[in-house]
A and B are shown apart, each in its own frame.
Chain A
């Protein structure tokens, strides 16, 4: 629902980073989206297309990497993703079956890289 705002922030950040490199042209942006970020990747891609279409940014390619929820087992220390078991919920440790686990990551909404063409 707020993906247009997020897409706009991504594009602005992409341009901010590009401006640090005189003469460079922004051609791609890579983002990491966690399953718990509250952002829908398909809606974000659609929003990004809408805001860039028929502008100077029409050729900018958005690359998205989905990140699973990562948990840490408090009993044996194993870090594991609960994506295969249930995308959002806390799953038992695959090594020792403990359910005493904590949240590590999965709410990312990060810009990983930009791609630029340089003169």
Chain B
């Protein structure tokens, strides 16, 4: 019996595709953001409110993933920007190949900002690099403030945590400071925003965050 050292990533093939996507995004000055959360934390609603705030000339596009249905793409297409649904047919995450395939009909030169709405799941999407510039994790105040401790991987890998549905704070026993402490325990440098898509609270900070990201790319900062 011979032991052969291999030393490679299990998801080598996905990583290769992700690196290629990242290179193409960089060449075309596309800021790509990968939104991840549990089902029902408000990814689609946040995207709806975000798209509603963009003027018609903005070069924004969305890829949205779900196990089944085109419902989210229909919701998001109302704002006039290019949207495609990725139906995974049961797969619990998006991978690089799915992104590559769904980008084919689009010209990246016509996109400045690409949102990827991942499948609602806090576990599996954290393992798959999609070539994004940043992962963004959403946590709604109707969930538990200990989620960062229970699902540490995604909080570690995300640049930004958006606490959603904060208008409900008076009605739910969610300790928002504890949630932030828990997130920072896992990832000391994580940025945190508080947002309500119902009242609009915090949406200005979210837009400012997006603007800063986009400005960063156009002066040539690239990862």
Contacts and interface: CB of A to CB of B under 8 A. Distances in A.
A35 B150 CA distance: 12
Interface in A94-119: 101-103, 107, 109-118
A9 B11 CA distance: 7
A113 B186 contact: no
Contacts of A6: 10-11, 127
Given A5-B91, A109-B11, A27 B6 contact: no
B185 interface: yes
Main secondary structure of the interface of B (DSSP, over half): mixed
Interface residues of B, number: 31
B124 A38 contact: yes
B1 interface: yes
A13 B149 contact: no
Contact of A113 (B5, B157, B188): B5
Interface string B103-145: 0000000000000000001011011000000000000000000
B6 A112 contact: yes
A113 B127 contact: no
Interface in B1-49: 1-13
B156 A103 contact: yes
B185 A114 contact: no
Interface centre among B9, B91, B157 (most CB of A within 10 A): B9
A43 B156 CA distance: 22
Contacts of A89: 149, 152, 185-186
Contacts of A38: 123-124, 126-127, 153-154
A83 to B, nearest CB: 13
A6 B10 CA distance: 7
A50 to B, nearest CB: 16
A113 B6 contact: yes
Majority secondary structure, A binding face:
mixed
Contacts of A110: 7-10
B8 A13 contact: yes
A111 B4 contact: no
B93 A2 contact: yes
B1 A115 contact: yes
B3 A115 contact: yes
A37 interface: yes
Interface string A73-87: 000000000000000
B127 A111 contact: no
A113 B5 CA distance: 4
B99 to A, nearest CB: 16
Given A1-B121, A6-B127, A38-B154, A115 B12 contact: no
18 contacts: A2-B92, A6-B11, A13-B6, A17-B6, A28-B1, A88-B149, A88-B186, A89-B149, A89-B185, A90-B186, A102-B188, A103-B156, A103-B187, A111-B6, A113-B6, A114-B6, A116-B1, A116-B4
Interface of A: 1-2, 5-6, 9-10, 13, 17, 21, 24, 27-28, 31, 35-39, 88-90, 101-103, 107, 109-118
Given A2-B93, A39-B127, 7 more contacts: A5-B91, A13-B6, A35-B152, A36-B156, A107-B157, A111-B6, A111-B10
